[in-house]
Amino acid sequence: MNFLKITSNLWVLISKKRKIQILLLIVVMLISGFSEMFLLITAIPYLKAITQPNEAWNNPFIKNLVALININSNAELISYLSVIFASIIIICSSIQLFNIWLNRKLSAIIGSELSVRALGKILNQPYEVHIRKNSSSVIASISKYIDDTVSMLRVSLEFITQIIISSFLLATLIYLDGVIALTAASIFG
């Protein structure tokens, strides 16, 4: 079976509530992509302030910050930018961790839901069917397939997250410097 057929079969089996949760998870993935893009955009003025402090004062973001906070020296500028940049890193990392936690939690919940459905079908069979079958091997098979399904779902959600984040980062790099972005994309895939 191919991946798309398995995914469409799985989509049919899960409840409407889980489908809505998957769609909300995609929104969190998009927010995660935006946060990574914002982190990359804010890294440039920060790095410029560290490496070329005199030229950094010409950056529009830094000009607004200087006017707002009344910064007088390069050392003050670097201190403020360090705090701002560290805060942005913490926020972006928190969003990433929340996204990973949601991916894993939703995968586990869907696996639990599928287990309940599968075991319910087995338990609701007539008594004669249970006598003829080795129920422990059936339950072991179901457990293995559910575990495999949960793993596939988790990896798929994480893959989608990484595709979204990579797309946002590539778009940002193309916006900032198209030649470098396309060179990096061709080298790193």
pLDDT in tens, 106-162: 999 998 898 888 888 887 878 777 777 777 777 888 888 888 888 888 998 999 999
pLDDT value at residue 189: 63
pLDDT value at residue 131: 75
Two tokens, residue 56? 């950094």
- At 14, phi and psi to the nearest 5? -85, 155
pLDDT value at residue 46: 85
Two tokens, residue 101? 């936690």
pLDDT > 90 in the chain, percent: 33
* Beta-carbon-side half-sphere exposure of residue 9 (alpha carbons within 13 Å): 8
Average pLDDT value for the chain:
86
pTM confidence score: 0.81
Q: How many CB atoms lie within 10 A of CB 181?
A: 17
pLDDT value at residue 1: 56
pLDDT in tens, 97-106: 999 999 999 9
- Per-residue HEC secondary structure of 153-172 comes to HHHHHHHHHHHHHHHHHHHH
Two tokens, residue 159? 């893959």
